[in-house]
A and B are shown apart, each in its own frame.
Chain A
Amino acid sequence: MPTPSKGPRLGGGPAHERLLLANLASQLFEHKRITTTVTKAKRLKPYAERLVTFAKRGDLASRRRVLGLISDKGIVHELFTDIAKQVENRPGGYTRITKIGNRKGDNAPMAVIELVLEPLSAKQAVVAEATKAAEKAAPVEEAAVEAPAEETAEVVEETVEAPAAEAAAEETEEKTAE
């Protein structure tokens, strides 16, 4: 979950900010790379990545949540089909911001924000595979640890029960003898 931003809203107010972010996100998903100010790019990054996470989940409920923010069905379709497939194996970090210097008119610092659509590098893929393997191995070990413990407990119970049963049997025998 992105951290809520402090300070003044973008644009003129909360509603203006919502619209600005939604429009920036839809343009980003349409063109894959947009040039904007550094401030807007930084605010757009968590917003857009959250939408990509919804797209990766891909069910109807998440599609409706995204459609509540981005009204263009075509762009949402592209997000859920093309972009979601391209970032399938990427564990977050779906956007990249690069600063490109100040704008000529008002000297505002500008940046390019783009979707990271290239496949994971070989090293990243290996790391992802290793962590997955470790996760798989961990539950097996836990089960192995649990199983002997249960067995020993059962054995102990049996040993406890057996003398008790014998004693009971002896008592009954004694009683019958009397």
Chain B
Amino acid sequence: MAVPKRKMSRSNTRSRRSQWKAAVPNLVKTVENGRVTYSLPHQAKVVTDSAGTELFLEYKGRKVADV
């Protein structure tokens, strides 16, 4: 099995890792009950009660699945 001959330098490791970037998600902006919310497009959203407990997934006013 082929193995590395030399230890990789801290500089090389950090140079490689500096290229890791998080992609910005495309969000849609909607106004719900007077509050602006950002959410993923074309995807069911979690409905929560006032205490913040997750109830079910909803999409276009239709219950889709349980959480």
The yes or no answer to A101 lying at the interface (CB within 8 A) is yes
- Judging by beta carbons under 8 Å apart, are A99 and B42 in contact? yes
Within 8 A of A (CB), among B1-52: 40, 42-44
A35 to B57 Cα, complex, angstroms: 13
| Total CB contacts across the A-B interface at under 8 A | 21
Q: How large is the interface on B (under 10, 10 to 19, 20 to 34, 35 or more residues)?
A: under 10
Q: How large is the interface on A (under 10, 10 to 19, 20 to 34, 35 or more residues)?
A: under 10
A99 to B43 Cα, complex, angstroms: 5
Main secondary structure of the interface of A (DSSP, over half): strand
What is the minimal beta-carbon distance from B57 to any residue of chain A, in angstroms?
5
Specify the chain A residue showing the minimal Cβ separation from B59.
Answer: A98
- Judging by beta carbons under 8 Å apart, are B65 and A100 in contact? yes
B residues near A, CB below 8 A?
40, 42-44, 57, 59, 62, 64-65
